Structure 1
Amino acid sequence: MSISVLLAYAAAITLWASAFPAIRVGLESFEPLHLSMLRLLIGSTALVIAAIATNMKLPERKDQPAILILGFLGFSVYHTFLSIGEETVSAGAASFVVSTTPLVSALLARFFLKETFGTYGWAGSITALFGVFLISFDAGEGFNLEIMGVLMVLIAALGESVYFVLQSNYLTKYGFIPFTTYTIWAGTLFMLVSVPGTAEAIHQASMESLLTVMYLGLFPTVIPYFAIAYATSKQGASEATSSLYLTPVLAIIISWIWIGETPTLLSMAGGVVVLAGVSLAALYKERNKK
């Protein structure tokens, strides 16, 4: 693996991991809808500049409805429900729940695309679900069940999973970077319903929250997709997917350093169980490919 590919992986994992504590910081001044809208709007603006600079073509008219739906699920739903969930769920715990996305994608592919799943896939699903159940308990607050917050994060993961499952034909047709750009724009379009009240929220927000929102829009929302696109073109998709399992681990470390968030033992245990379940299904799938 070349140095450039390693740097691409490192950039994607680090930036995506940093998004979880960054959302917690942004929520100190913004409502989840405003935070998600601003994040996507900033990212979309940067992508407009990039698209003009590279003379990127617009998608065909017949594909635009599907792109709108996928943008809504993969970006509007994902960012909004993740932000709502992180109002009550710690950044580290949320990152573990989101790590079920490859597994949820495999389940969806089983039902909608008729792909095989197998005994190990189901065993991994049950294992990961048990890990999510453990994360649902916030032992730091008297063993209270935080099921609603975890459910919101799971909805975010579901939206992203549907996006990943149904994007394959469009990736082949348009390429990873143009298609991702189209769907980010589409997701931003749906979020514009949250514009009312945003100006007042920006005026009252702390400087830390404002800078964090800028960071979220310019970095975790945009750059990792380009980095993974480059790495995938050099190494293939399976290596990129497996490397992203490091994201929750790094998210916990960054959350501890940045916002002083110390994960509970129960959340850590649940996270390990989630990763074990996801890995069980993923490793078996890779084994069957060989």
Structure 2
Amino acid sequence: MMNVSPAHPARRARLLATGAAAVTVVLWASAFVSIRSAGGAYSPGALALGRLLAGSLVLVAMLVVRREGLPPRSAWRGIAISGVLWFGFYSVALNWGEQQVDAGTAALVVNIGPILIALLGARLLGDPMPPRLLAGMAVSFAGAVTVGLSMSSGGGSSVLGVVLCLLAAVGYAGGVVAQKPALGRASALQVTTFGCLVGAVLCLPFAGQLVHEAADAPVSATLNMVYLGVFPLALAFTTWAYALARTTASRMGATTYAVPALVVLMSWLALGEVPGLLTLAGGALCLAGVAVSRSRARAAAPETIPGSQPERAPDSV
């Protein structure tokens, strides 16, 4: 009889989680470009609501097909907080920010979020917070300031854009930290679906703007809005939740560090936008801060108690 290695299911789970994370990164990178494109015809709130409504339709249909039903009561707190901060507030702030700065710059600034995730995780979830994390945060915020200064020659609007992207990063970080415990009680699809619905309800005051602007918007802008709802939201947020349920919040956040490079490439190909040298230098500082904040975890050997087995890292992505 052939023996099946017990490591095989674990290896398959790691591969699935890694694949889910990769899908998320690529689709989220494309979202920065699509937001920039659709933002010419839709105001920030209207674009957020249209995207959330499109995503909600797809997610609810998937939920019905899979017959997953309502999440348990214990998961609702995390779902509601992530829906308000991430699906709602983040969407409006990012849409507004991308009307002020280019897509690549927006991605670079928003990717300070993983450091904020680590900070919030240390405070709220009991995750360790070594001194290098604080140093990395300082370096990354210096990079964000550099990005803002590099774009301020055109007026205050670009500084406003960087501030809005920073606020979006805060909403993103808060949403992820709130979402992580909920994923221990409900499925990835449930958490994503009802978080999206909460965000849509939050954005309902923009319904009048959406109806008015949709009547005059070009078809390409409306298609971009639908694309944002179906792929970077419904699909990518679900793959994100699937991977997040199988790793730590800080580890999963680190996978989004590839987003800025992809956005710069996509925005150059689709929109003809390439950030200036100083902007890229600021983005490099942001990523350097991330490297500093994670360097100790990579360099330090795990401490073991004599006679005990080394602790296996929980990360699978």
Q: TM-score, normalised by structure 2?
A: 0.83
Matches within 5 A, 1:75-224: 75-139=87-151, 141=153, 146-224=158-236
Q: Which residue, 256, 277, 290 being the options, matches 2:289? A: 277
Q: Are the counterparts in 1 of residues 49 and 210 from structure 2 also a CA contact under 8 Å?
A: no
The Cα offsets for residues 163-191 of structure 1, whole Å up to 9 and x where unpaired, read as 11222321101133321222111111111
Q: Are the counterparts in 2 of residues 137 and 144 from structure 1 also a CA contact under 8 Å?
A: no
**In structure 2, what is the Cα distance between the partners aligned to 1:75 and 1:25?**
20
Q: Are the counterparts in 2 of residues 30 and 201 from structure 1 also a CA contact under 8 Å?
A: yes
The Cα offsets for residues 145-168 of structure 1, whole Å up to 9 and x where unpaired, read as 832211111111111111112223
Q: Relative to 1, partners in 2 of residues 1:66 and 1:230: Cα closer, same or farther, differing over 3 Å?
A: closer
**Aligned-pair CA distance for 1:192:** 1.2
- Range with bigger deviation, 163-172 or 93-102: 163-172
Asked if residue 31 in structure 1 is aligned to residue 31 in structure 2, the reply is no
**In structure 2, what is the Cα distance between the partners aligned to 1:84 and 1:286?**
37
**Aligned-pair CA distance for 1:53:** 0.2
Report the counterpart of residue 58 of structure 1 in structure 2. Answer: 70
Q: TM-score, normalised by structure 1?
A: 0.90
**In structure 2, what is the Cα distance between the partners aligned to 1:174 and 1:200?**
37
Q: Are the counterparts in 2 of residues 96 and 248 from structure 1 also a CA contact under 8 Å?
A: yes
Report the counterpart of residue 270 of structure 2 in structure 1. Answer: 258
3-state DSSP of counterpart to 2:69: coil
Unaligned runs of 5+ residues in structure 1 are: none
3-state DSSP of counterpart to 1:221: helix
Q: Are the counterparts in 2 of residues 138 and 145 from structure 1 also a CA contact under 8 Å?
A: no
Report the counterpart of residue 311 of structure 2 in structure 1. Answer: none
Larger RCO of the pair (alpha carbons < 8 Å, separation 6+): 1
Asked if residue 16 in structure 1 is aligned to residue 28 in structure 2, the reply is yes
RMSD: 2.5
**Aligned-pair CA distance for 1:109:** 2.6
| AA of the residue aligned to 2:213 | A
Unaligned runs of 5+ residues in structure 2 are: 1-10, 303-317
The Cα offsets for residues 93-137 of structure 1, whole Å up to 9 and x where unpaired, read as 110111111101122233334533222111101100110001102
